[in-house]
Amino acid sequence: MDYPVSHYFLVRSRSAELAGQHVERYLAANQLISYAEFFVRSEEVLNGTDAQFARTLEQGLAANHAFALRMLAHLKEEGVHSLDQLPDLQQGYVTKILHTLTHLLDGFIGIDSVFYNLIEDSHRVSGPLADALRTAPAEYWLVPVRTGKLQASVLHPVD
């Protein structure tokens, strides 16, 4: 079976093989999400020197940003317009949206994470890391992961 790419992981490593192994170990031990199966295809791993690297990285960052904006839009649709409202929110749908958004902003990976920066445990790339990517691109890799069925997730119930 051929699964679409679920996540792109940014890793610093000496080789594509080691970068893929790093991601595989991370996912195998992750307590936030667990997949029945996942695949890293070595031929799909992108080095920082690859022409597709920067575009793929930007697309992943943009997808995460768009997800955050969708979560904010949901909060607004539910009547949340001020931080002052947060202490009085009733537990339920709205707080689940806020929780999911907070995980994204705080760097916890979830099933909605298109891009994940394993170097900084983040959904973003800091200024110093962006500089390092430009200075020594051969040391960095984007590892696409194809996942099977979700087994467990802290953020989303599994049917």
Is 62 a member of any domain?
Answer: yes
Structure tokens at 132: 């390092």
Strands 46-47 and 150-153: unpaired
Mean pLDDT confidence for 110-132: 94
pLDDT at position 147, please? 82
Band (151; pLDDT cuts 50, 70, 90):
very low
**Distance between CA atoms of 121 and 63, rounded to whole angstroms?**
17
Is 158 a member of any domain?
Answer: no
Which domain, by its residues, includes 97? Answer: 5-153
Mean pLDDT confidence for 23-36: 84
- Tell me the pTM: 0.87
Give the number of domains in the chain: 1
pLDDT at position 52, please? 96
Band (2; pLDDT cuts 50, 70, 90):
low
**Distance between CA atoms of 110 and 51, rounded to whole angstroms?**
28
Is 125 a member of any domain?
Answer: yes
Q: Is the pLDDT of residue 130 over 90?
A: yes
Band (112; pLDDT cuts 50, 70, 90):
confident
